[in-house]
């Protein structure tokens, strides 16, 4: 922590924290609305994610808070079990994450197929878009993604209703303000987030014209937003439905967090992520969110990438952004009450669309053939048509089809040899997601300096999950100025260095 207070480093972290705060504020509230809970619940999660998890995190530059990836499952919990059920579920989910981190299973979450993760996020993106589309008209989302989709034309035909049309116009101002700023903003203001510009523009228009649109409702005091668990907590924690839901949240939140941390590592040359420490820190954060009656948290890539791009060097930036959220909510709650609900829905519509990464499925199809693309599409469809956990399990099941031709030779042997400044790692057998934690740990343990030769001449098979991990490791190492050579690479392995 002493490093965080050194002159040049602290000034960079201070500036970055302001940028992340400006990005996080509208997203915290918008994701809460998409989750079917009051906006202040998302702000509490942002505060805990910044101050508490920021202090403990194994990924110093990753920012934690409410994530769009869990909005759909939280909406279902609140609708079916009530808001009071969320606290016990998060307490149990947080405890599971803490134990998982202590048992050092963090690396296994990286073994989940990228096709499954991106398919899950794409399905979530579709559900957010079709749900928040109705909030653009000051209406409420329906009970399922398919029902929301079917009802979308009716909202358009109902624009003859003056109040709905006004709310829709406010939402469009947010969307066009956000996208327009991101496209045309001057270089000197590149750190000002588009989401903030869109919300400010819509709020000013609604305020100056006194438009009759629904606005954010927040309590007079942030303390008043904290809801402690009700009596009989132990009985709730033993409820089979609570246990099942908690396991699902712990699994999805952990996967999203650790994959986000891996992405953050690719953006900078500083300290690498300690995945087990990060997992335990997230568990502590979700435990506290459960006791406070707030939203679940994950590491979030949008805020984390803004943090890195703004020049953050240590965890102080993340901690300060949580302090800024706390100060804003404590001192200026009246300002939050002027924000139109349609403005937050506009931000989430854009966020949802961006979660559907068609470029990623093209990348999978081009490099690894049709199976990963099919896994992506099947996961997306099942998430939209059924529920989040079913979609993920279907995706994981389909991704295992890649193992079938290699069931008799799934073992991976690694032999390391050093010759001066040159280190050679020879791989033999099959590199699949089952071996990914061990292979990743071996590659990350190699010295930062000197030539690394990855001998894959006797590697019979590598699946797309391991191939993506190796490709990212090669890119990261070369980006840091350390040479890497692949010996005996053909086919898929040859594509890694293309």
Per-residue pLDDT of the chain (498 residues; tens, 9 = 90+): 545 555 568 888 888 898 889 888 888 988 998 888 988 999 999 999 999 999 999 999 999 999 877 888 899 899 888 888 899 999 999 999 999 999 988 878 777 888 888 888 888 888 888 888 888 998 888 777 778 888 888 888 776 677 888 999 999 999 999 999 989 989 888 878 888 899 999 999 999 999 999 998 887 777 878 888 877 788 888 889 999 999 989 988 998 888 788 778 877 777 888 889 999 999 999 999 999 999 999 998 778 888 888 888 899 999 999 999 999 888 888 888 899 999 989 988 888 888 888 888 888 888 888 888 999 999 999 988 887 778 888 998 998 887 777 666 778 999 988 888 888 999 998 888 888 888 988 888 888 888 998 988 888 888 888 888 888 888 878 877 888 888 877 765 666 544
SS3 sequence of 3-26: HHHCHHHHHHHHHHHHHHHHHHHH
This prediction's pTM:
0.80
- Residues of CATH 3.30.750.24 domain(s) within the chain? 410-495
Residues 436, 437, 439, 443, CA torsion sign: positive
Q: What is the CA radius of gyration of the chain?
A: 23
Q: Please check whether residue 281 is in contact with residue 319, taking contact to mean a CB–CB distance below 8 angstroms.
A: no
What span, in angstroms and rounded, lies between the C-alpha atoms of 83 and 402? 41
Ramachandran region, residue 387 (left: φ > 0; alpha: ψ -120 to 50; beta: rest): beta
Domain 410-495, CATH? 3.30.750.24
Q: How many residues are there in the chain?
A: 498
3-state secondary structure of 166: helix
In three-state secondary structure terms, 456 is strand
Q: Please report where in the chains the tokens 């928040």 appear, as a residue.
A: 132
Tokens encoding 399: 């991704």
Residue 101: closest CA among 264, 279, 328? 279
Q: What are phi and psi of 476, to 5 degrees?
A: -65, -40
Both tokens assigned to 104: 């050092």
Are the C-beta atoms of 90 and 287 separated by less than 8 Å? yes
* Spatial CB neighbours of 252, under 8 Å, sequence gap ≥ 6: 69, 70, 73, 120, 388, 389, 392
């Amino acid at each position: 922590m002493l490093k965080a207070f050194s002159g040049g480093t602290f000034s960079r972290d201070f500036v970055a924290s302001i940028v992340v705060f400006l990005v996080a504020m509208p997203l915290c509230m918008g994701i809460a609305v998409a989750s079917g809970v009051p906006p202040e619940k998302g702000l509490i999660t942002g505060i805990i994610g910044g101050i508490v998890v920021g202090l403990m995190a194994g990924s110093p530059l990753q920012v934690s808070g409410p994530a769009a990836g869990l909005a759909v499952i939280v909406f279902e919990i609140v609708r079916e079990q009530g808001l009071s059920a969320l606290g016990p579920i998060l307490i149990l989910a947080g405890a599971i994450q803490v134990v998982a981190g202590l048992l050092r299973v963090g690396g296994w979450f990286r073994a989940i197929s990228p096709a499954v993760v991106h398919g899950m996020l794409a399905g979530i993106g579709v559900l957010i878009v079709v749900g928040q589309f109705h909030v653009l008209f000051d209406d409420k989302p329906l009970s399922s993604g398919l029902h929301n989709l079917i009802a979308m034309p009716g909202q358009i035909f109902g624009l003859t209703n003056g109040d709905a049309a006004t709310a829709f116009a406010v939402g469009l101002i947010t969307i066009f303000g956000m996208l327009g700023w991101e496209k045309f903003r001057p270089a000197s203001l590149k750190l000002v987030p588009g989401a903030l510009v869109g919300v400010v523009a819509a709020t000013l228009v609604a305020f100056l014209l006194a438009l009759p649109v629904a606005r954010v409702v927040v309590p007079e005091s942030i303390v008043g937003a904290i809801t402690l668990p009700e009596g009989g907590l132990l009985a709730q924690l033993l409820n089979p439905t609570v246990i099942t839901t908690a396991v699902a949240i712990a699994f999805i939140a952990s996967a999203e967090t650790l994959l986000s941390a891996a992405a953050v590592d690719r953006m900078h040359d500083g300290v690498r992520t300690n995945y087990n420490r990060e997992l335990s820190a997230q568990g502590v954060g979700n435990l506290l969110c459960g006791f406070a009656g707030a939203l679940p948290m994950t590491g979030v890539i949008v805020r984390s990438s803004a943090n890195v791009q703004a020049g953050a060097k240590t965890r102080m930036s993340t901690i300060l952004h949580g302090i800024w959220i706390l100060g804003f909510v404590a001192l200026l709650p009246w300002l939050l009450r002027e924000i139109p609900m349609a403005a937050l829905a506009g931000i989430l519509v854009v966020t949802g669309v961006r979660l559907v990464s068609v470029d990623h499925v093209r990348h999978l199809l081009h490099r690894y053939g049709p199976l990963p693309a099919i896994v992506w599409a099947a996961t997306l469809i099942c998430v939209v048509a059924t529920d989040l956990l079913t979609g993920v399990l279907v995706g994981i099941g389909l991704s295992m089809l890649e193992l079938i031709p290699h069931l008799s030779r799934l073992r991976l042997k690694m032999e390391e040899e050093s010759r001066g400044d040159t280190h050679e790692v020879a791989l033999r057998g099959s590199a699949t997601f089952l071996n990914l934690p061990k292979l990743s740990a071996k590659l990350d343990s190699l010295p930062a300096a000197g030539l690394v030769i990855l001998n894959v001449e006797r590697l019979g098979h590598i699946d797309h999950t391991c191939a993506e991990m190796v490709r990212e490791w090669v890119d990261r190492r070369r980006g840091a100025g350390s040479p890497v050579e692949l010996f005996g690479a053909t086919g898929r392995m040859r594509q890694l260095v293309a």
